[in-house]
Amino acid sequence: MKETAATPITTHEGIPQPRSEPRMLYDDFVPGQSLGSATCAVDAEAVAQWCRLFPDDDLSDLMPHGMIAVVSMRAYGEVIPRRPPGNIHAAQHFDLLRLPRIGEKLVTTVSCVSKEIRRDRRRVTLATETRGSTGPAFQGRMTVLWAA
C-alpha cells in the first residue's frame, strides 16, 4: 500500500498515526481547552475476554470496573495520537458514577486541566469524561510528564 498523508502509519507503540499530524508538544496544551472526543461501544466480546482473564469481574450485563482504564486510555491515545517519545504516565485517578451496559455507546472527552513545570519537568494534567446513552458514566484525571 502506498503511503500518503491520509494513510495511517504504525509507530513502535503499535498505534496508527496519520503522518500529516504534528506531535503534540507541551506548549500546545491550553488549560481549560477540550482536546477532542473518542467514541467506542462496550463490546460483548471484549467484556467476555476480560472476564476470562478476571472471572471475579463478571457483572452480567455491565462493563467490569477494570475496563474503565481501557476506555479512558484508548480515548487518550485516539485524541492525542502523536505524542513525543519519552512521556511518563505519572498518575491516574477515576471516579465511577455508574457502570455502562454491554452494547452501550460511550463518548469520552479529553481536556487539559493544567500544565506546569516542576523541578525542570513538564507536567500536564488531563481530564477524561465518559458519557453513555443514560448520561455520565465515569471521569478521570491523569498526570503525564511530557517529554517535549
Q: Within 10 Å of residue 132's Cβ, how many Cβ atoms?
A: 20
- Residue 147 has what pLDDT? 96
User: What is d(CA 66, CA 63) in angstroms, rounded to the nearest whole number?
Assistant: 8
Q: For 91-102, what is each residue's pLDDT tens digit?
A: 999 999 999 999
User: What is d(CA 143, CA 29) in angstroms, rounded to the nearest whole number?
Assistant: 13
- Residue 22 has what pLDDT? 86
Q: For 16-41, what is each residue's pLDDT tens digit?
A: 555 567 899 999 999 999 999 999 99
Torsions phi, psi of 56, nearest 5?
Answer: -70, -10
- Residue 3 has what pLDDT? 33
- Residue 15 has what pLDDT? 57
Q: Which residues of the chain have pLDDT under 50?
A: 1-12
- Residue 18 has what pLDDT? 53
- Residue 14 has what pLDDT? 57
